[in-house]
Structure 1
């Protein structure tokens, strides 16, 4: 089974889930580093993947998406266009990104795409069962029971991660996974800067999606003479036609990103033990590294 991890989701939850008083020997905040690798240990022990890739954010707000929806993720952007990250996180992310290859754990990234797109591409490449680990609801669109694609959802934290197959997605959101994007685009998603369709909330979005089979079907119904759609809803859909087309493209993950072949097998030991030792000492995470080594069954090769 291949586990694809949205690395940013994991380190953000580690950052906010652990107290700021956790510091490195040099006095820097280190909770995100410790929590990230403890989270990996928890995930490996719980789900026993045979392959694992940590997917990184090459471009958290790609230009091709902002060209379609100018406000895409705008609430999270600084004036210079960079992502507004919390105090002390950037240095910890750099440490995590240095430790992953030193440990021999695979990473994947593309400079023009988000981690979601990288995850979708790697999932599309394999016939093996896939577990996607994320706190991003957009990736529910990848859930597919026939192909054994599930999502481990981190909204409540790493220790309380929930496993979602198709039935669980439908129970939580009221729509099947292959229509999650239609639902989200209609309802709107403030965190991504998607305004939604005026006057259509979650309940109405669910009803429309399940009645007409997604936005293409809803738009077709709105264009029909004598449409059964209520006049207000029909007009709202017609008025939002341009938004709906653009937002669908923005919200649908790209599954054809050009990525090199990746050795996703779990390592038998660290790839660069000296680098792991140095970074472990710098960040004061010996216990987290020991737990990760135990989860990976490294035995006497624990850093």
Structure 2
């Protein structure tokens, strides 16, 4: 089981009231919400391995070089020579190191790679896996990894982190009319304002799905646009030609990397806490109470 950690703690933050606080009054709603969510995931799915995948760089320069608008609206501060600082709620930022410390003390593997997003870590681990994989994320971009032949599916949180929609090939086809590989092409065409991706003007999700059904993939659509006798409409032909420069680079930005070099780590689901004394200190300092106890009890079970 692969966790898109930042996506999940953002959802926990907004799904759990900030009245959930440490003894000193510091909000810990994201920390406790994430721990409760992980406990439910383990209880319901009993994975053999569990990895908290991290954004070592939430806006990699190589993606920005290709599309400068990529996540530009979410930059809080530009950092020369390093990852830019992402805009986050004031009371969430201080909780992220606590989340990392607690996961480490519990013994849940955390993996990231310099110059890559958590999506790329997930893509690499999913590609390497020899058995079924559940990807837990609130980011639709990772639908591109769904693969029934390899038993890779996405568990997509709804209502904060209260419940999950399961996306396998059938669910993806029903919702978007594409398979996992096709979803990346659909995302390129549709664009995504939340990531600063413009898409092709005038081609939304439904039109993108229809074009992919007709022409197979993005290359097929572009070939049809270049073919004067194809049945693509004149308006679509014009829009696709106008977007040629974007379409040349967008696939490399949208598609997750699958060959990231990752550090060696024990990915097995822990049964007992790795650092019990450290965990006890963190539990007392941050008032993690029942959330941490539930997670540890679930792991032991």
Task: Decide whether the 8 Å contact of 2:21 with 2:27 is kept in 1.
Answer: yes
Matches within 5 A, 1:1-303: 3-80=1-78, 81-297=84-300
Task: Decide whether the 8 Å contact of 2:15 with 2:159 is kept in 1.
Answer: no
Deviation at 1:76, TM superposition (A): 1.2
Q: Deviations over 1:16-57 (max 9, x none)?
A: 001111110011011111001001001101111111000011
Deviation at 1:160, TM superposition (A): 1.1
| Distance in 2, Cα, partners of 1:197 & 1:4 | 31
Give the gaps of 5 or more residues in structure 1: 299-303
| Distance in 2, Cα, partners of 1:223 & 1:135 | 36
Q: Deviations over 1:250-293 (max 9, x none)?
A: 00000000012221111121111111001111110121111001
| Distance in 1, Cα, partners of 2:120 & 2:133 | 15
| Distance in 1, Cα, partners of 2:102 & 2:19 | 22
Task: Decide whether the 8 Å contact of 2:4 with 2:119 is kept in 1.
Answer: yes
Structure 2 counterpart of 1:301: none
RMSD: 1.1
Task: Decide whether the 8 Å contact of 1:42 with 1:159 is kept in 2.
Answer: no
Query: What SS class does the counterpart of residue 219 from structure 2 fall into?
Result: helix
| Distance in 1, Cα, partners of 2:290 & 2:92 | 20
Deviation at 1:214, TM superposition (A): 1.4
Give the gaps of 5 or more residues in structure 2: 79-83
| Distance in 2, Cα, partners of 1:253 & 1:155 | 23
Deviation at 1:157, TM superposition (A): 2.5
Structure 1 counterpart of 2:81: none
Deviation at 1:165, TM superposition (A): 0.4
Deviation at 1:99, TM superposition (A): 1.0
Deviation at 1:101, TM superposition (A): 1.3
Matched positions, count:
296
Task: Decide whether the 8 Å contact of 1:182 with 1:215 is kept in 2.
Answer: yes
| Distance in 1, Cα, partners of 2:246 & 2:158 | 28
Deviation at 1:90, TM superposition (A): 1.5
| Distance in 1, Cα, partners of 2:269 & 2:21 | 29
